[in-house]
Amino acid sequence: MRRIDTAHRLRGPAVATIAALTLAGWAVPARALPRAAPTPLAPAAPVSAPDVAGAGSFDLVRPSAHPVELRSAPRRLSVTYTYEGDERTFDDFLARTKTNGLVVLDGRRIVAERYVKADRDTRFQSWSMAKSFTSTAIGIALHEGRIRSIDDPVTRYLPELRGSGYDGVSIRNLLRMSSGIAWDERSDVPKLQMAANRGRPVGKLAARQVRGWEPGSRFEYTSMNSFVLAKLVSRATGMPYHRYVEKKIWKPAGMASTVRVDKDSNGDSLGYCCYYATDRDFARFGLLYLREGKAGGRQVVPRSWVRTSTTPSASFNPGYGLHWWLGGDGRGDFMAAGFGGQYIYVSPRQGVVIVKSSLSAPANDRREALTAFRAVAAEVARTR
């Protein structure tokens, strides 16, 4: 039986590099910035790739002066699981999904960590895992009274959206992906990303969205919702989104490295994607939620928000909270998920966090990923 061996790199086919932004594989890992050097990120692979939001279109979020320590405690884990009637190994899953970064935490102990054409200082593209950071920022702003209620209409804070499909739609309905705007994620996100690449202000695109169905009546995954929420954070707090994330999340949660957050030509952080961070810092974010919002002995995220955002937000989709995907089956696990196989998985019951970064992955691999992560979490708990 094959094993997860923290002393060796992933086995299997080499991960191919990609030199262009394509629908088949958007995620290109970005190499580490020096912690204090505000210089552009270079790709980890030998072939260069374009910036996701255009040259220089990003902000830097600085780390904590006192990072949360993650202790290396390698452990051999034999992991198999059954999916669609087949018995599979976790190693094979990692190879098939072209994984080039993996961190498994047992509390604050790193029990498995491996990289392919990358290392612990590589900044990986988050893609839609960023949505869970945006949700966290909303929760903190709500707790501080900067946002009166998530049942407020977004136009209370962003009056420029009056007359658009977002007019009168509640913050809650954006968070649970039920805004009612006419949107098709498969076809509209590439257009959105291309517009950002070409220097168009995304806020103007948001103001052009039209109503397609009754808000709060169904689930429709919509990245534009997350952009609007990030812009709302800036407007409600009087602080740029990336700076609020730095002050309220990144530093107090004990992150160890600088992160890049992409923005549009108007200076608005995209919010739905494009955090470039190390897998260890993504794991620290998972650890923050594992500990119900606490880090370094302080409550960083309100415990009530952690619980609310990671429980079903609507009867029409019990598998989604407030910008978090839920495991279901009464297990209480949840994860942030991004295009191409990016994951932060949290199992409160077993005290485990798993981060996985990939160049690309098969479409709709989230169900298998959940099954595989649950098997790893169970094995970590069993061998504790």
- Please report the pLDDT score of residue 103 as a whole number: 98
Domain range for residue 168?
58-382
Q: Which of 292, 311, 310, 312 is nearest to 302 (CA)?
A: 292
- Please report the pLDDT score of residue 32 as a whole number: 37
Pairing state between β 124-125 and 109-115 = unpaired
Q: Classify residue 294 by burial, with Cβ atoms within 10 Å: 0-12, 13-18, 19+.
A: middle
Residue for token pair 């998985």:
345
* Sheet containing 124-125, strands listed edge to edge, beginning at the edge strand earlier in sequence: 58-61, 259-262, 275-277, 124-125
Please state, rounded to an integer, the average pLDDT across all residues of the chain. 86
Residue 14 lies inside a defined structural domain of this protein: no
**Is 90 exceeded by the pLDDT of residue 319?**
yes
Quote the number of domains for the chain.
1
For residues 237 and 361, the model is more confident at: 237
- Please report the pLDDT score of residue 361 as a whole number: 59
Residue 17 lies inside a defined structural domain of this protein: no
Residue 201 lies inside a defined structural domain of this protein: yes
Q: State the Cα–Cα distance between residues 345 and 129, nearest whole angstrom.
A: 11
136-147 pLDDT per residue, tens: 999 999 999 999
With beta carbons less than 8 A apart as the criterion, state whether 377 and 355 touch: no
User: Mean of the pLDDT values across residues 350-358?
Assistant: 97
- Please report the pLDDT score of residue 197 as a whole number: 81
**Is 70 exceeded by the pLDDT of residue 280?**
yes
Residue 77, number of CB atoms within 10 A of its CB:
19
Output the domain CATH number for residue 129: 3.40.710.10
246-279 pLDDT per residue, tens: 999 999 999 999 999 999 999 999 999 999 999 9
User: Mean of the pLDDT values across residues 353-368?
Assistant: 82
Residue 19, number of CB atoms within 10 A of its CB:
13
CA angle 273, 278, 284 (to 5 degrees): 90
User: Mean of the pLDDT values across residues 304-324?
Assistant: 97
Q: Quick one: pLDDT band at residue 64, thresholds 50, 70, 90?
A: very high
Residue 28 lies inside a defined structural domain of this protein: no
Residue 142 lies inside a defined structural domain of this protein: yes
- Please report the pLDDT score of residue 364 as a whole number: 63
Helix (H, G, I), strand (E, B) or coil at 58: strand
Residue 38 lies inside a defined structural domain of this protein: no
- Please report the pLDDT score of residue 14 as a whole number: 29
Residue 10 lies inside a defined structural domain of this protein: no
- Please report the pLDDT score of residue 359 as a whole number: 73
Residue 51 lies inside a defined structural domain of this protein: no
- Please report the pLDDT score of residue 196 as a whole number: 87
